[in-house]
A = this chain, B = another copy of it.
């Protein structure tokens, strides 16, 4: 087994010399083997190893037994053990979630705290068998190629050195090395479906291929590589298709189908913080061709209009409260950061506003009826509504634009720039910069 662990550590670059690692220790065969395997690599990598055990207090005496077992185990390995005890049953009831989910949340919270406090990585004992079960489970629930990545070998500070070792190999390792372990109580709290996959489905598949876990690990690896590549290509495609107010439908439709779909997923995840369903993707491709809108959630819609595609937040009456302008401040609104800085004058910059506006009581706000804008060159004054029309700014975006105004007089408007009234006439100015939050 140690060869497989070492191979995975090297392949996925899990450990560097001098690392500090916290082993997530339940006391079950998987985590005991993990602790043993990492301790045997202590010298090779000059590791400092800790262990962490969360007592879920779910099974009375069994929970006590597990905690005590971990204490003795760590003493034998001369590993510092951190224990936390939480009444998961009560907490889950309070939070109205399942005990399984609550337990997982609290475990990862505890590990994260320790990771920060000790400046250490967290090693969890997920095995190739866990990965295979997750992959089949994901397929059953409906997964894209991306979902086949299943359990990542490494994510942030979390590493999974057993990810290419099967449960049978772990059990064999315990037997060979005479390692004692307790029955992992998390197995018992696994839900009914998981257990049926573990016992009935996996058994049948292992009859077809005794090396099932290894084969599935290879599939997961291949899915991760393909996903990484598609992410890169989709990002490049989005950069290329970007226009001032969204993305060019024509250019998006010229992409290969795999890249187009992946780009739409990325866009939804970033803009609307949601993973679109298969039917949403199909519908988005439809509106790229024919125009229209798709409801992605109660808060976001995808819109295709005049050859431009964008994902916009539905205006749910959350109004922007006017704020007085001041030097060096920044505000957050609608996924964008507006920052104001004092700078030397630069007449070319259409987002530079006279510093006098502070004294004159200008405010940042969204547009309202009666707003008037004077073109800086032509010196013609028009209702802001007409100006936005002439600039072809999409109607659903107009209510989300910020303006800088004194009463009805617009000094500056987002996407349009400074007006005649806001123009700078000293050698200092306010510069308004707008950045996307993501």
Counting CB contacts under 8 A, is A4 at the interface?
Answer: no
Q: Complex Cα distance A209/B141, Å?
A: 6
Among residues of B, the one whose C-beta sits closest to the C-beta of A211 is: B142
- B143→A225 contact, CB < 8 A: no
- A136→B205 contact, CB < 8 A: yes
Contact partner of A232 among B144, B225, B256, CB < 8 A?
Answer: B256
Counting CB contacts under 8 A, is A212 at the interface?
Answer: yes
A285 → chain B closest CB, angstroms: 12
Q: Mark A214-238 against chain B: 1 for CB-CB distance below 8 A, else 0.
A: 1110110011011011101000000
- B259→A209 contact, CB < 8 A: no
A139 in contact with B258 given A145-B226, A201-B201 (CB within 8 Å): no
A142 in contact with B218 given A201-B204, A258-B225, A261-B225 (CB within 8 Å): yes
**Complex interface: chain B residues within 8 A of A207 (CB):** 193, 196
**Complex interface: chain B residues within 8 A of A228 (CB):** 256-258
A191 → chain B closest CB, angstroms: 11
**Complex interface: chain B residues within 8 A of A216 (CB):** 139
In terms of DSSP, what is the predominant structure of the interface of chain A? Answer: helix
A140 in contact with B208 given A145-B223, A200-B200, A222-B145 (CB within 8 Å): yes
- B208→A204 contact, CB < 8 A: no
**Complex interface: chain B residues within 8 A of A240 (CB):** none
Counting CB contacts under 8 A, is A379 at the interface?
Answer: no
Per assembly, the copies of the chain total 2
Q: Mark A100-131 against chain B: 1 for CB-CB distance below 8 A, else 0.
A: 00000000000000000000000000000000
- A204→B196 contact, CB < 8 A: yes
**Complex interface: chain B residues within 8 A of A5 (CB):** none
- B256→A215 contact, CB < 8 A: no
Interface-central residue, A196, A197, A208, A211, by most chain B CB under 10 Å: A208
Contact partner of A141 among B139, B142, B208, CB < 8 A?
Answer: B208
Q: Complex Cα distance A208/B138, Å?
A: 10
A401 → chain B closest CB, angstroms: 38
- B209→A140 contact, CB < 8 A: yes
Among residues of B, the one whose C-beta sits closest to the C-beta of A143 is: B219
Counting CB contacts under 8 A, is A69 at the interface?
Answer: no
- A229→B140 contact, CB < 8 A: no
**Complex interface: chain B residues within 8 A of A218 (CB):** 142, 144, 278
Contact partner of A219 among B139, B209, B219, B226, CB < 8 A?
Answer: B139
Among residues of B, the one whose C-beta sits closest to the C-beta of A135 is: B139
A82 → chain B closest CB, angstroms: 36
Among residues of B, the one whose C-beta sits closest to the C-beta of A197 is: B204
Counting CB contacts under 8 A, is A338 at the interface?
Answer: no
- B230→A226 contact, CB < 8 A: yes
Q: Complex Cα distance A139/B142, Å?
A: 15
Counting CB contacts under 8 A, is A300 at the interface?
Answer: no
A27 → chain B closest CB, angstroms: 29
- B225→A257 contact, CB < 8 A: yes
A220 → chain B closest CB, angstroms: 10
Interface-central residue, A139, A200, A214, A256, by most chain B CB under 10 Å: A139
**Complex interface: chain B residues within 8 A of A148 (CB):** 145, 148
- B215→A143 contact, CB < 8 A: yes
Contact partner of A137 among B143, B208, B278, CB < 8 A?
Answer: B208
A288 → chain B closest CB, angstroms: 16
- B140→A212 contact, CB < 8 A: yes
Q: Complex Cα distance A381/B137, Å?
A: 71
A292 → chain B closest CB, angstroms: 19
A229 in contact with B256 given A137-B208, A208-B193, A215-B141 (CB within 8 Å): yes
**Contacts A193-B208, A226-B230 given; 16 further ones with Cβ under 8 A?**
A136-B139, A137-B208, A139-B205, A140-B205, A140-B208, A140-B212, A142-B215, A145-B223, A145-B226, A197-B208, A201-B204, A218-B278, A222-B261, A225-B261, A228-B258, A229-B257
Q: List 9 A-B contacts (CB under 8 A).
A: A136-B139, A139-B205, A142-B218, A144-B222, A197-B208, A201-B205, A225-B256, A225-B257, A229-B259
Which residues does A use to contact B, with CB under 8 Å? 135-137, 139-145, 148, 193, 196-197, 200-201, 204-205, 207-209, 211-212, 214-216, 218-219, 222-223, 225-226, 228-230, 232, 256-259, 261, 278
